[in-house]
Amino acid sequence: MEEQADATKRASYNEDLQHKTILLGDSSVGKTSLLVQFDQGKFIPGSFTSTVGIGFTNKVVTVDGMQVKLQIWDTAGQERFRSVTHAYYRDAQALLLLYDITSKTSFDNIRAWLTEVHEFAHKDVVIMLLGNKCDVTTGRVVRTEDGESLAKEYGIPFMETSAKTGVNVELAFMAIARELKQRSSSPDERKFQINQYIESQKKKSNCCGLL
Q: What is the pLDDT of residues 16-61, one digit of tens each?
A: 467 899 999 998 999 999 999 999 998 887 645 454 446 778 999 9
CATH number of 10-202: 3.40.50.300
Q: Which residues pair with 74 in a beta bridge?
A: 23, 55
What does the alpha-carbon distance between residue 55 and residue 22 come to, in Å, rounded to a whole number? 10
CB 44 within 8 A of CB 95: no
Residues in contact with 97: Cβ distance below 8 Å, sequence separation at least 6, in sequence order: 24, 25, 110, 113, 114, 117, 127, 128, 129, 130
Mean pLDDT confidence for 118-135: 95
What does the alpha-carbon distance between residue 125 and residue 114 come to, in Å, rounded to a whole number? 12
pTM: 0.82
What does the alpha-carbon distance between residue 67 and residue 61 come to, in Å, rounded to a whole number? 6
Binned at pLDDT 50, 70 and 90, residue 107 comes out as very high
pLDDT digits (tens, 9 = 90+) for 54-91: 677 899 999 988 889 999 998 765 554 455 567 778 88
Q: What pLDDT shows up at residue 197?
A: 87
